[in-house]
């Protein structure tokens, strides 16, 4: 099997939960303290060996492209001023990494977004990374999935156990037997009621997929909301090519919702050695105005 070197970042959504901020700022550019969500996702991909980043975007998301521009004049200014720490902050992307931006046209679902990358991916395994899912972990989640694909010979998805009342937000997998945190998926259900869910393990925003999924997506009809769901194609992938679930190691924050975004910001701030943790804790405990 070839190395996995390409990752798809679906970033064409409207971010309506974060209006009015997302009226002019892509939700993927919302910062966790001082680093945008999309940069956290890209750094994870690059550390996992990805060298081609494919952004499925929209006309209003030019700020993402701007963020990863090298800004040589600004770099030169900071170097002249001796501000090495600021120069380092400009290094948002290694020079050897390729960026490709593909317009989605209309936000017609995650499956539709992934399908737009087909001409670039061709017949390779590839990663899909959703920047909304911010992960703090001692293990690189994308790299772990790539390892799973190489050992298992088929596609893999990251899953975590979610509260029963939230199962209707997820694609939920059925895995009859787990072995060291991985297991073969026999069933996957999109946004089930708790009584219909095959387990409490929901798929989160990290995938490494066989290019065979493109043919399945092309044949997948839109759902009642007019969107093409990736989960519907994964159902067929389970039967045709196989699918492995890998349990997440670490903590995921769903930054597609305000609650998760605030929790991610607080957790990251508390772990940031440049900030005064005691002051932050005092504020959280209500001991400061």
- Within a domain: residue 135? yes
- Within a domain: residue 112? yes
Cβ partners under 8 Å of residue 157, min gap 6: 145, 173, 185, 203, 206, 207, 208, 234, 243, 244, 245, 246
Q: Domain span at residue 203?
A: 6-284
Q: How far apart are CA 49 and CA 53, in angstroms?
A: 11
- CA 42 remoteness from chain centre: 9
Residue 228 has a pLDDT of 92
Residue 141 has a pLDDT of 97
**pLDDT tens-place values along the chain, 289 residues long:** 789 999 999 998 878 899 999 888 899 999 999 999 999 999 999 999 999 999 999 877 788 988 888 777 888 888 888 878 887 788 788 888 999 999 988 888 999 999 999 999 989 999 999 999 999 999 999 999 999 999 999 999 999 999 988 898 889 999 999 999 999 999 999 889 988 899 999 999 999 999 999 999 999 988 888 889 999 999 999 988 899 999 999 999 999 999 999 999 999 999 988 888 888 888 888 765 5
- 219 neighbors 132 (Cβ within 8 angstroms): no
Domain count, the chain: 1
- Within a domain: residue 289? no
Residue 288 has a pLDDT of 59
- Within a domain: residue 26? yes
Residue 119 has a pLDDT of 94
Residue 95 has a pLDDT of 82
Residue 79 has a pLDDT of 83
- Within a domain: residue 220? yes
Residue 287 has a pLDDT of 63
- Within a domain: residue 61? yes
We report the CATH number of the domain holding residue 190 as 3.90.550.10
- Within a domain: residue 1? no
Across-strand partners of 127?
7, 208
CA distances from 37 to 4, 75, 181, 254, 286 (A): 22, 23, 27, 11, 28
Residue 121 has a pLDDT of 95
Strands 243-247 and 155-161, by their bridges, are parallel
């Amino acid at each position: 099997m070839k190395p996995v070197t390409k990752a798809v970042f679906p970033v064409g959504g409207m971010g309506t939960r974060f209006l009015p901020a997302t009226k002019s700022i892509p939700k993927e550019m919302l910062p966790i303290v001082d680093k945008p969500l999309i940069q956290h996702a890209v750094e994870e991909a690059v550390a996992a060996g990805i060298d081609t980043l494919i952004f499925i975007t929209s006309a209003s998301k030019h700020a993402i492209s701007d963020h990863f521009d090298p800004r040589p004049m600004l770099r030169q200014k900071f170097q002249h001023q001796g501000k090495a720490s600021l120069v380092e902050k400009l290094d948002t992307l290694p020079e050897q990494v390729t960026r490709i931006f593909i317009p989605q046209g209309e936000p017609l679902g995650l499956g539709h977004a992934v399908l737009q990358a087909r001409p670039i991916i061709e017949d390779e395994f590839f990663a899909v990374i959703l920047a909304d899912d911010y992960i703090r972990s001692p293990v690189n989640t994308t790299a772990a999935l790539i390892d799973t694909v190489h050992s298992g010979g088929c596609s893999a998805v990251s899953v975590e156990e979610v509260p029963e009342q939230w199962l209707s937000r997820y694609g939920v997998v059925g895995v009859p037997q787990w072995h060291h945190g991985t297991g073969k998926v026999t069933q996957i259900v999109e946004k089930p009621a708790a009584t219909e869910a095959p387990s409490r393990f929901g798929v989160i925003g990290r995938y490494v997929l066989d290019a065979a999924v493109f043919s399945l997506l092309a044949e997948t009809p839109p759902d009642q909301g007019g969107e093409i769901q990736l989960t519907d194609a994964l159902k067929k992938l389970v039967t045709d090519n196989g699918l492995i679930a890998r349990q997440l190691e670490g903590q995921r924050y769903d930054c597609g919702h305000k609650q998760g975004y605030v929790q991610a910001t607080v957790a990251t701030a508390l772990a940031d050695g440049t900030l005064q943790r005691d002051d932050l804790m005092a504020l959280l405990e209500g001991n400061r105005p």
